[in-house]
Structure 1
Amino acid sequence: MRNDWVGHVIWWHVYPLGFVGAEPSGGPSTEVTHRLGRLEPWLDHLIALGCNGLALGPVFASGTHGYDTTDYLRVDPRLGDDGDFDALVAACRQRGIRVLLDGVFNHAGREFPPVRAALDGSGPREWVRWSGDHPYLFEGHDRLITLDHGSPVVRDFVTEVMCHWLERGADGWRLDAAYAVEPEFWAEVLPRVRERFPAAWFVGEMIHGDYGDYVKRSGLDAVTQYELWKAVWSSLNDRNLFELAWALDRHRAWAGAFLPMTFLGNHDVTRIASRITDSRHLGHAVALLFFLPGVPSVYYGDEFGLHGIKEDRPGGDDAVRPPMPAVPGPAGGDYQHLISIRRRNPWLTGARISTAGLTNEHLAVIAEGPAGQRLSLLLNLADEPFVHGGHEPVPPHGWAIVEG
């Protein structure tokens, strides 16, 4: 397999601009401040937790939050420069840590030079997707201009940007807002990138849509499993494990064709510790993340139980993108324990799953490996013990991973 290393990766996902406490806005004249190196002391924390991949949010020059890119070949001066990027990659390499970059190729900031020129009429229109004389805006955001994915110049540019940073040491790309990009665009671009970097991994952000069909048509390696994310916290909050069982049936089918990226939190959603309404059930969510097939991702700070609620207002993401101290504290107990189980049973990444013992408040998730391995995750949301399959009773509001 061209990128079989992915089956052994557990990502630690960081939103760099927030992590380092960068200013909320930048621009071409922004003074370079060498902050990216603040991540280096946290790499040993990443390893101690049991992760071995660093998934970086946007690191390229932008006007504000990183998703309004203005220069795809320059490190955001609020984070540093090329030397800071190279040093961070080198520090990761010394520890055996893979690096995933965040590519915003559906849209660009208004100040991205080809977009600015297209909008003011001083340059070719082929960079921008138009509706008559009006540019398409990404989800109504006036500062985010949708690129024309049918244009050869855009395809060529994205190909070269990807290759540039893979050459600089990245191992793959998270493709922002992939759900808004025609899959045929990636089907044109990715083979050209893979010709030069056959081991690279590409995961598309999919919030909605037909995950399996999109992967098949686009040639992506994976997509983000938002459907499972929603089912986990919703079923635990409602004490309706039928919802989770339904989502697991769909997850099983997708995981048989590709390895989705699984997660409990990221830079766009309320933190899982705030989302779960009964704190006794937070461990159930973490257990599901590391028990189920896929490529798990831990959003920075979740391992410490950080809280943060995303709000629909300017600055409403700040609470889930906080700055972190210079030196990390001890790794989180549930996360470290469950990642250690995952490491001792690497076959879980591609396990076949089924369910049993289903009620509103009880569920057994059974994972089977290619050599006859078998583990069960028992979930109990009830006020009484849960007994299943002759195993020891699971205490009220508890969970357990057992053999068989």
Structure 2
Amino acid sequence: MTTSLVSYAHCATQSDSLGGTPVRFQDAILWQVYPLGFCGAPIREAATPAPRLRRLLNWLDHAVELGTSGLLLGPVFASSTHGYDSLDQFAVDPRLGTEQDLADLVEACHDRGLVVVLDGVFNHVGRDHPRFRQALLDGPDGPDADLFAVDWAAEGGPHAAVFEGHDALVALNHSSAAAREYVRSVMEYWLERGIDGWRLDAAYTVDPTFWAAVLPAVRERHPDAWFVGEVIHGDYADFVRRSGVDTVTQYELWSSVGNAIASRNFFELDWTLQRHNAFLADFVPATFIGNHDVTRIASTVGEDRAVLALAVLMTVGGIPTVYAGDEFGYTGVKEEREGGDDAVRPEFPDTPGDVAPWGASVLQAHRQLIALRRRYRWLVTATTTAEELTNTRYRYRVRAAGGSDELLVELDIGDRPSGRILAGDRVEWSTAG
């Protein structure tokens, strides 16, 4: 195989899709990995270049056996520390390996029918990015002066805008043609080498008109690519319409599932699911109950209740993602300090067989509930209606959009948490096994 990523022939394009979602993503279930942590790469210490990314090859069969259909891969590009302080988005981080290592991973995913989505950090770059450092040397008339958001006339010298107060993360100038061309070129570079889509990190910090200016040119060459914007709050549907992304991250649902189960308040979840129904009229949300930026669901609600959160994720409309480790009941609390993400971004063993056995019941629940979702493919756009609602008991009916298919979900978070899913009189899943 050559050093470029393999091309991947797809039989379907965006022309046959739900709300613009490419066909191969319409009923996707993604497995998310934060590769620097997963593969044991040092984050804040000097590291010897090594093909650590290849460790993931040992885990792809696990992703398939889990029932997922795609790999959502966190930052893999050259950076200073945690991956979001980019130094070169056209090169694989030496701590993870080479472009050939990424090529082999993408090929192995495609051989197993897994799509691959990369993390695009397009709001900012690391302060040590060579082009930023050169821009400061060249000044306001230099070739890259417009690429970055720099106040060249600031008192005391040029002042660069940064991401949410993080001095090491220098913002791009999203009003410039230079930034549009830079982001377009990075997107197309890796799409041409076989990846299938992009997660747009911190998309909420960028005016939607920027994405609307960049994405059409990318879609023209890659019409079946998928774009999910990280949006934490605000008007989700409006962002989708104005930006042209396929979907956004459904943080409202993530927050509500954890809060409702932890505080024994299903009224909060029901209110959120009503809003979720409305979103589904405009786009198919990217749903999750865990990711690399938040406290693990098992730490939020407890292991015995975490499977009930998973039952919600797998029975409401959306394109769900499972964060690696949640399927084993991993715990971890995010803290607001340097290194505060480490607990939710741990190193994984070389193979799934090396994982400690005490999460076996959680793993089994994941396999069962993901299998249920794959069996009922209409769940991707299904809406919910409450039939019984108290603080600790919630029964809701899930109905196919424009069809007669339905499921009944019953959840109880009282003293003995339990849940079951019924299709007619048949029990499809229950915590009793």
Question: 2:391 corresponds to which residue?
Answer: 360
Question: 2:96 corresponds to which residue?
Answer: 79
Match of 2:116 among 90, 99, 122: 99
Question: 2:68 corresponds to which residue?
Answer: 51
Q: Deviations for 1:259-301, whole angstroms, at most 9, x for unmatched residues?
A: 111111111111111111x443222101011111100101011
CA distance in 2, matches of 1:162, 1:31: 28
Match of 1:166 among 187, 191, 214: 191
Amino acid aligned to 1:340: A
Q: TM-score of the superposition, structure 1-length normalised?
A: 0.93
Matched, 1:6 2:25: yes
Question: 1:242 corresponds to which residue?
Answer: 267
Matched, 1:153 2:178: yes
Question: 2:126 corresponds to which residue?
Answer: 109
Moved more, 121-130 or 252-261: 121-130
Match of 1:308 among 332, 353, 376: 332
Structure 1 residue 156 displacement after superposition: 0.7
Question: 1:386 corresponds to which residue?
Answer: none
CA distance in 2, matches of 1:226, 1:167: 31
Matched, 1:213 2:245: no
Moved more, 31-40 or 73-82: 31-40
Superposition RMSD in Å: 1.5
Match of 1:185 among 210, 223, 233: 210
Structure 1 residue 79 displacement after superposition: 0.3
Question: 1:390 corresponds to which residue?
Answer: none
CA distance in 1, matches of 2:306, 2:344: 17
Moved more, 236-245 or 355-364: 355-364
Matched, 1:23 2:23: no
Q: TM-score of the superposition, structure 2-length normalised?
A: 0.87
Structure 1 residue 26 displacement after superposition: 7.5
Structure 1 residue 7 displacement after superposition: 1.4
Q: What secondary structure does 2:314 align onto?
A: helix
CA distance in 2, matches of 1:364, 1:190: 41
Structure 1 residue 80 displacement after superposition: 0.4
Question: 1:345 corresponds to which residue?
Answer: 376
Amino acid aligned to 2:127: R
CA distance in 2, matches of 1:279, 1:198: 41
- Tell me if the contact between 2:303 and 2:329 (Cα under 8 Å) persists in the aligned partners: no
Match of 1:334 among 358, 361, 365: 365
Amino acid aligned to 1:402: L
CA distance in 1, matches of 2:110, 2:304: 38
Amino acid aligned to 1:14: V
Moved more, 172-181 or 363-372: 363-372
Question: 2:85 corresponds to which residue?
Answer: 68
Aligned residues: 389
- Tell me if the contact between 2:298 and 2:305 (Cα under 8 Å) persists in the aligned partners: no
Question: 1:296 corresponds to which residue?
Answer: 320
Structure 1 residue 135 displacement after superposition: 1.2
Question: 1:398 corresponds to which residue?
Answer: 418
Structure 1 residue 31 displacement after superposition: 4.8
Q: Give runs of ≥4 in structure 1 deviating > 4 Å.
A: none
Moved more, 229-238 or 119-128: 119-128
Amino acid aligned to 1:337: Q
Amino acid aligned to 2:338: P
Structure 1 residue 238 displacement after superposition: 1.1
Amino acid aligned to 1:364: R
- Tell me if the contact between 1:26 and 1:62 (Cα under 8 Å) persists in the aligned partners: no
Percent identity between matched residues is: 51
